[in-house]
């Protein structure tokens, strides 16, 4: 497996982790951008199946997914605490 394929797999796993976390975060005014961005990244990843992305684009998506996952976990904790 090439480095690009390995990175793509990691990004796909992060997207799955984000989707799993967002299942517990209701769409509200303050969480709507989080849900919309996750959907946009899902669309972008699906398009990359046909056209391989440049490595820097995958790395940027990976970093963004990590940040979104942290934000989703934080939103979920806030919901539980309320």
Mean pLDDT by 10 residues, the chain (82 residues): 81 94 94 95 86 84 94 94 84
Query: Quick one: pLDDT at residue 2?
Result: 81
Query: Quick one: pLDDT at residue 52?
Result: 79
Query: Quick one: pLDDT at residue 24?
Result: 94
Query: Quick one: pLDDT at residue 78?
Result: 92
DSSP string over 3-24? HHHHHHHHHHHHHHHHHHHHTT
Domain boundaries, the chain: 3-81
pTM for the model stands at: 0.85
> Burial level of 8, CB count in 10 A (0-12/13-18/19+)?
buried
């Amino acid at each position: 497996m090439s480095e690009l394929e390995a990175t793509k797999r990691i990004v796909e796993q992060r997207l799955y982790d984000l989707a799993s976390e967002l299942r517990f975060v209701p769409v509200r005014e303050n969480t709507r951008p989080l849900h919309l961005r996750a959907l946009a990244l899902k669309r972008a990843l699906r398009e990359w199946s046909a056209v391989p992305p440049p490595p820097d684009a995958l790395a940027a998506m990976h970093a963004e997914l990590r940040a979104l996952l942290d934000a989703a976990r934080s939103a979920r904790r806030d919901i539980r605490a309320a």
